[in-house]
């Protein structure tokens, strides 16, 4: 795998849609209390790309919400994930985005 790549794409921040929750009855004690969400990445038009990630939820995101996911070492820099073994974290719930002045997504306008 090329340097800086994950299974889902380039390390950094990505847009995604929360599609489910991951429940585990046994886990590493250092991740106790973290909500783990299944997030499908979306492109600049809000269409699912086919890649997904399990991310620790630092902001209380819910199913169907579009979120901003940080991955790599940045995922361990939130209050919820500090010094925890996380490689992806939901760090924001997205209200809108635009490209070249054209709104591509606005929360509540989903089909």
Short-list 94, 51, 55, 53, CA closest to 76: 55
Question: Is residue 107 classed exposed, middle or buried when 0-12, 13-18 and 19+ CB atoms within 10 A define those classes?
Answer: exposed
Q: Which CATH class is domain 13-23+33-106?
A: mainly beta
Sorted by where each begins, the domain ranges of the chain are 13-23+33-106
As given in the structure block, the two tokens for residue 103 are 């709104």
Provide mean pLDDT across the span 78-82: 81
pLDDT at residue 69 in the model:
94
Confidence of residue 5 (pLDDT cuts 50, 70, 90): very low
pLDDT at residue 79 in the model:
75
User: Can you name the residues that pair with 56 across neighbouring β-strands?
Assistant: 36, 89
Contact (CB, 8 A) for 8 and 51 = yes
Query: Tell me: the pLDDT tens digits for 24-74?
Result: 999 999 899 899 999 999 999 999 999 999 999 999 999 999 999 998 878
Within 10 angstroms of residue 65's Cβ, the number of other Cβ atoms is 18
pLDDT at residue 44 in the model:
92
Q: What is the DSSP letter of 29?
A: G
Which conformational region is residue 50 in: left (phi greater than 0), alpha (psi within -120 to 50 degrees), or beta? left
pLDDT at residue 9 in the model:
52
pLDDT at residue 19 in the model:
97
pLDDT at residue 10 in the model:
54
CA separation for the pair 102, 104 (Å, rounded): 6
């Amino acid at each position: 795998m090329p340097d800086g790549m994950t299974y889902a794409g380039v390390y950094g921040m990505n847009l995604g849609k929360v599609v489910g929750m991951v429940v585990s009855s046994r886990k590493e004690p250092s991740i106790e209390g973290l909500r783990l969400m299944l997030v499908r990445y979306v492109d600049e038009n809000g269409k699912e790309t086919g890649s997904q990630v399990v991310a620790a939820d630092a902001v209380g995101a819910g199913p169907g919400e579009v979120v901003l996911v940080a991955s790599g070492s940045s995922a361990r820099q939130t209050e919820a994930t500090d010094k925890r073994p996380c490689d992806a974290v939901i760090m924001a719930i997205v209200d809108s985005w635009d490209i070249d002045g054209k709104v591509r997504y606005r929360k509540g306008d989903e089909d």
